């Protein structure tokens, strides 16, 4: 986790479960605010709340956080703030979706019932209790590169698969204290609510997730790196007793280097060391290396996604931004 004060950019990770009566209108207003502040990233808005990861210059991020918190609906939002040398994203996406994180558990409202929130300090004290079971609520590609020591993981490709896996995997631990965790805390809101619904009695969640624990408590006992949904791909978490958890998909040597296969028809997201990356020209196998549609490899293993016609600066958004500038106004959340 970078703490270098001279880094000019900030990366914000946040969410808030709160009712939004007209999310489509709010989406347009929020998009306009992000454009004005030169922010990049991914934001999801729905009737149930707000979920985002964005990057920008420090002053722009401060202005964004102040604008969001000024709205009474988001007054309690918890921003996880990291420093970075540059933008962590290439584009801006502000989109409406039915859920702010896809779980399929639309009947659960974390504001009504969810697991007890543990601060990073409380989590640190409780995680090694013999009566405690740590449960990782993330997908395979996330926990493969890093997870807490002794934590239980699910064999799932997407969070929406969790409700089918969790009851069976956790059945032997129903009399234990369950502590759920994820990257920033959002998945645990509904995951812990789901476990309570399934009859688990003592359910807790790491408030702010792995990222907040790293910032406030040094990430002790987190093995490997934390997968993140931006250009950084995976970040350092543990400053106390770090280890490498993952292995190269090709040769099996220890590596934390996450890439996508250069063959777009494969696009496997996995760990591949630099040596194998060079030998296979960014592919995960010889057949993928020899595929006629293989993308050019620049050494990073990162390939920008196609926008499928989505342009954040076209139509309504650009016209509204230009109009606001002509009038000498700064867009806000309440306009």
Query: Residue 333: pLDDT above 70?
Result: no
Reported confidence tier of residue 309, pLDDT bands at 50, 70, 90: low
Residue 327 has pLDDT above 80, yes or no: no
* Average pLDDT in the chain: 91
**Alpha carbons 226 and 214: distance in angstroms, whole number:** 10
Quick one: tokens of 136?
């990782």
Structure confidence at residue 310 (pLDDT): 56
Residues with catalytic roles? 182
> What pLDDT is recorded for position 326?
47
pTM listed for this prediction? 0.84
In whole angstroms, how large is the CA radius of gyration of the chain?
Answer: 21
Higher model confidence: residue 302 or residue 51?
A: 51
Tell me the C-alpha distance between 139 and 116, whole Å. Answer: 22
Which of 173, 167, 144 has its CA nearest to residue 157? 144
What local confidence, expressed as pLDDT, does residue 256 receive? 86
* CB 55 within 8 Å of CB 39: yes
The predicted-structure confidence for 195-242, as pLDDT tens digits, reads as follows 999 999 999 999 999 999 999 999 999 999 999 999 888 899 999 999
- Comparing 1-5, 163-167, 261-265, 279-283, the range with the smallest average pLDDT is 1-5
User: In this predicted structure, what is the pLDDT of residue 214?
Assistant: 97
Please, what are the domains in the chain?
A: 9-100 (3.30.70.100), 116-227 (3.40.250.10), 247-302 (no CATH)
| 183 to 87, 192, 272: CA distances (angstroms) | 20, 15, 22
Quick one: pLDDT band at residue 335, thresholds 50, 70, 90?
A: very low
What pLDDT score was predicted for residue 315?
Answer: 45
CA distance linking residue 79 with residue 114, whole number of Å: 20
Query: Quick one: pLDDT band at residue 312, thresholds 50, 70, 90?
Result: low
For β-strands 132-136 and 234-235, DSSP reports them as unpaired
Band of pLDDT at residue 94, cut at 50, 70 and 90 = very high
User: Does residue 57 carry a pLDDT above 90?
Assistant: yes
In the chain, which ranges are continuous DSSP H helix?
23-36, 58-70, 120-126, 140-143, 162-170, 186-197, 209-217, 274-279, 286-289, 315-326
State mean pLDDT over 4-26: 91
Average pLDDT over residues 279-304: 93
Q: What are the beta bridge partners of residue 192?
A: none
- pLDDT above 70 covers a percentage of the chain that reads 89
């Amino acid at each position: 986790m970078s703490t270098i004060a001279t880094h000019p950019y900030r990366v914000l990770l946040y969410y808030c479960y709160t009712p939004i009566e007209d999310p489509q209108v709010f989406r347009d207003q929020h998009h306009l605010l992000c454009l004005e502040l030169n922010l990049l990233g991914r934001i999801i808005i729905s009737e149930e709340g707000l979920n985002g990861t964005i990057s920008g210059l420090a002053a722009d991020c401060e202005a964004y956080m102040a604008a969001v918190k000024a709205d009474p609906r988001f007054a309690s939002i918890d921003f996880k703030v990291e420093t970075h040398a540059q933008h962590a994203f290439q584009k801006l996406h502000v989109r409406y979706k039915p859920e702010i994180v896809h779980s399929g558990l639309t009947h659960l409202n974390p504001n009504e019932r969810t697991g007890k929130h543990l601060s990073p300090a409380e989590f640190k004290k409780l995680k090694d209790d013999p009566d405690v079971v740590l449960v990782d609520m993330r997908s395979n590609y996330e926990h493969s590169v890093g997870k807490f020591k002794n934590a239980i993981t699910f064999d799932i490709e997407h969070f929406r698969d969790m409700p089918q896996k969790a009851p069976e995997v956790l059945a032997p631990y129903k009399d234990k204290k369950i502590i759920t965790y994820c990257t920033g805390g959002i998945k645990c809101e509904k995951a812990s609510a789901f476990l309570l619904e399934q009859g688990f009695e003592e359910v807790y969640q790491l408030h702010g997730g792995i990222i907040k624990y790293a910032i406030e408590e040094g990430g002790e006992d987190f093995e490997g790196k934390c997968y993140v949904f931006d250009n950084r791909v995976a970040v350092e978490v543990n400053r106390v007793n770090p280890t490498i958890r993952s292995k190269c998909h090709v040769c099996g040597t220890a590596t934390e280097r996450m890439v996508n296969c250069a063959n777009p028809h494969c696009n496997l997201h996995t760990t591949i060391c630099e040596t194998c990356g060079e030998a296979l020209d960014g592919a995960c196998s010889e057949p993928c290396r020899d595929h006629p549609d293989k993308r050019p490899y620049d050494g990073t293993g990162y390939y920008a996604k196609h926008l499928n016609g989505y342009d954040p600066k076209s139509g309504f958004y650009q016209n509204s931004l230009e109009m606001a500038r002509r009038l000498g106004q700064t867009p806000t959340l309440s306009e």
